[in-house]
Amino acid sequence: MSHDGVLTGEQFMSGVEAAAEGGLAAGCRFFAGYPITPATEVAERMAERLPEIGGIFIQMEDEIASMNALLGASWGGMKSMSSTSGPGFSLMMENFGLGIMTETPCVVVNVQRGGPSTGLPTLVGQSDMMQARWGSHGDYAVIALSPNSPQEAFELAIQAFNFSEQYRLPVLLMMDESVGHMTEKVVIPPADQIKLVPRRLTKDPPEKYLPFKPDADLVPPMIEFGTGYRIHVTGLTHDERGYPAVNAETHRPLVKRLVDKIEKNADKIYMYEEHFLDDAEVVLISYGITARITQQVMNECREQRLKVGHLRLIVCWPFPFQRVRELADRIKGFVVPEINMGQMVLEVERAAGRGIPTLRVPNGGGEVHKPEEIHAVVREVIR
């Protein structure tokens, strides 16, 4: 442990604990949440660790209030974080949209379980992926990351905070129960080796500052409440001063910018891993815990001299549409295993078009795929 209380070196921890430590390493000093299986251990870890390093932990009355508390803490100058699972994620969606509209940086960890409703509280699922993209009302774009190990849970928690600061929005870390409760070695580098994106604060004096006037990359600089700036923050459609302007002339360019600041910077946001794609005839696309089984299937196929490759999504939203389209032009088909009945596969189908098959390997939740289930679908494409 370093002198400031942040862990360093080799640790043995679960994915949920690693995500909490990643948040701390990224500078998170405020956590608001409500207990929910299988994400409770994130809150437990933060309740223990934040007081040790001068941070604040607060258990809210529900996930609605938790999400709102993150927004307030962020405008007060703190990096803020929460964790939840399916039912709580649904409750967060209204104030998630408030965070999108007010362009408030923060991070939410969703440790996915089987649903719908209360579903399978202690068992794995990946069925919140479309909710991550479309769960709140209105038009907007999001950033969502999916780790496949405790090590990556630590690293992607840091990356989520960096994205949230760089593009001013709530960012989602879409873990699943299996990665969350998996325990492995996690290497935490010294603080001076961790790259952090600082909050972009305005250099304008208070009399000239426009809180929602964007820079060239479409992201406006922030201020912190209580530092002498007069500011109005609202979920209503607003002008560059932050004042409500409820008309189409203001709304259209505002919403377009909220989408464009992610989509036009997507090449800087995409993160994915490629294996044997140069000669692949069939490409497996997966994320999270499913990627570990899929990688095994790919290796076994290669041993059988089947030309199978693997595209592992690390950032799921924005979706790497163009890369999938490029692959579609030269392969026989895609196979997409997910622990849901078919969600991210819809984006693969959209990118691939009708020229080649895109086959799903659905799994309603509760357990991970068996390798033979994926093998069988691969052979459907090859034969």
Element (H, E) at 311: strand 308-313
The CATH number of whichever domain residue 372 belongs to comes to 3.40.50.920
**Structural domains in the chain (count):** 2
Exposed/middle/buried for residue 193 (C-beta within 10 Å: 0-12, 13-18, 19+): exposed
Nearest to 293 by CA among 237, 374, 204, 363: 374
pLDDT digit string (tens) for the chain, length 383 residues: 654 677 899 999 999 999 999 999 999 999 999 999 999 999 999 999 999 999 999 999 999 999 999 999 999 999 999 999 999 999 999 999 999 999 999 999 999 999 999 999 999 999 999 999 999 999 999 999 999 999 999 999 999 999 999 999 999 999 999 999 999 999 999 999 999 999 999 999 999 999 999 999 999 999 999 999 999 999 999 999 999 999 999 999 999 999 999 999 999 999 999 999 999 999 999 999 999 999 999 999 999 999 999 999 999 999 999 999 999 999 999 999 999 999 999 999 999 998 899 999 999 999 999 999 999 999 999 97
Q: Is 95 within the bounds of a domain? A: yes
Domain boundary among 193, 224, 243: 193
Q: Is 263 within the bounds of a domain? A: no
Domain boundary among 137, 158, 193: 193
In this structure, the answer to whether residues 75 and 174 fall within a common structural domain is yes
In this structure, the answer to whether residues 18 and 146 fall within a common structural domain is yes
pLDDT value for 3: 47
282-286 and 333-337: which strand pairing? Answer: parallel
The CATH number of whichever domain residue 166 belongs to comes to 3.40.50.970
Domain boundary among 193, 210, 235: 193
Domain containing 124 equals: 9-193
Contact between 83 and 38 (Cβ < 8 Å): no
In this structure, the answer to whether residues 29 and 141 fall within a common structural domain is yes
